[in-house]
Structure 1
């Protein structure tokens, strides 16, 4: 997901430092990644622009030697009751999805059939059935230390993620605490004579929703799983995407405990930070001071990339819309038995087909 320009800039820097015309100054550089997964996010970018921004479209790529892994270690090591044949077939199915080998020829999008044994078929209350699969008996189990470690509900869009989080937060025991952001126009706008700050009162700013920036309101309860939205202290594991559990709710700080990674079990105090959205659709600079946290019973597919999860529920009220999203959803689970999909059609009925998006030209140079 890194732009090719970053690698090309590194190449030029190494050549300057080492006074060499060889690629990266003659140093050996190892790249790691999977082009089946989600590519670099280019804001409002076309399919061509996204593919062109990838490393495989750089002049560097022709000098690379591709080494392909042959064993799905996530499935092999993650399954508690390994069935070699089941693992092999599931791994092959995942690769076919990632490489657009299911559903027949297409130009990027194609409808594929999903096996019935991994579908949620409850037509009466399908959302509750999905929640019960991922978080069984949550009111009895939420105090267990490892309950939220490797289970999550994924969805392509924030709208669905927010809905699932609201449902589970309402079911969660205990009193909630509400935190509101402090929103203001950036001071640099004061030098702009054409800008009238009186048009943007606090109530207006509070209602703004920006890509990559949390909303004005945050509601939490003790014991709820949350996600960190900014890098705060990388040395101690407080990075963007780190999953945490709320331990206490203060007025100025929130005490949390890390539930995944090398720093698991460590407690930290999270304070408010100033966030500056970079969304270009608003004609002014804006600051939002807020706790960089969000509830994460559910999260978007993009946020889940790279994680290994033992219990995954995929809520596809809306189909995936970008290259590799379906592959990332399905390949994050450590066993077939820990996976369920809830697919809804236009009339909100359960369905057994979904859209797979793959830009096949990304594989041409591999």
Structure 2
């Protein structure tokens, strides 16, 4: 799911670049994803109405999750249990692309995602290969790009420097 500002920004960017005042600059846009995850618009609705319809709520519109969806918090042990539940028998499926594509753990913070990625990658057998990133920009005669800045860039889907 993406915030509406992302789509509005994309729309305005296409209008500015192409110079046509039509949605997305008159270009055809195809959006993919699971539309069952798009929450309905309920004017002046509570959080529970937006997310679960008639689900009973507790204090401050909070909902009780079914016990089958909950792992009791026991620190690091709970995280290991979550990874083992989602990636059951990972060692047997390391070459099975379908198995890997059908599983994901979503987290709102990059540092948590990095921690989970490391934990899961450590379960893979084989030789580790380290690939190094660039510390400079070719033909940067005025030194516009400092090494610290280049090392801080962390684009989605790419490992950290």
Question: What TM-score, normalized by structure 1, do the two folds share?
Answer: 0.29
- 1:160 equivalent in alignment to 2:160: no
2-side partners of 1:31 and 1:135: how far apart?
Answer: 34
Given that 2:71 and 2:82 are in contact with CA atoms closer than 8 Å, whether structure 1 keeps it comes out as yes
Query: Could you say which structure has the higher strand fraction?
Result: 1
- 1:209 equivalent in alignment to 2:142: no
Q: 1:104 to 1:123 in 2, by over 3 A?
A: closer
The Cα RMSD (Å) is 4.5
Runs of 4+ in 1 over 6 A off after TM superposition: 28-33, 101-105
Q: 1:148 to 1:182 in 2, by over 3 A?
A: same
2-side partners of 1:94 and 1:31: how far apart?
Answer: 32
Choose which of 78, 87, 91 in structure 2 pairs with 1:135.
87
Query: Could you say which structure has the higher helix fraction?
Result: 2
Given that 1:184 and 1:205 are in contact with CA atoms closer than 8 Å, whether structure 2 keeps it comes out as no
Q: 1:98 to 1:178 in 2, by over 3 A?
A: farther
Gaps of 5+ in 2: 1-5, 38-46
- 1:13 equivalent in alignment to 2:15: no
Choose which of 66, 71, 92 in structure 2 pairs with 1:115.
66
Flag the structure with more relative contact order, 1 or 2, with Cα contacts below 8 A and sequence separation at least 6: 1
Match of 1:149 in 2: 101
1-side partners of 2:130 and 2:17: how far apart?
Answer: 45
2-side partners of 1:180 and 1:112: how far apart?
Answer: 46
CA deviation vs aligned residue, 1:261-302 (integer Å, no higher than 9, x gap): xxxxxxxxxxxxxxxxxxxxxxxxxxxxxxxx449xxxxxxx
Q: How many residues align?
A: 136
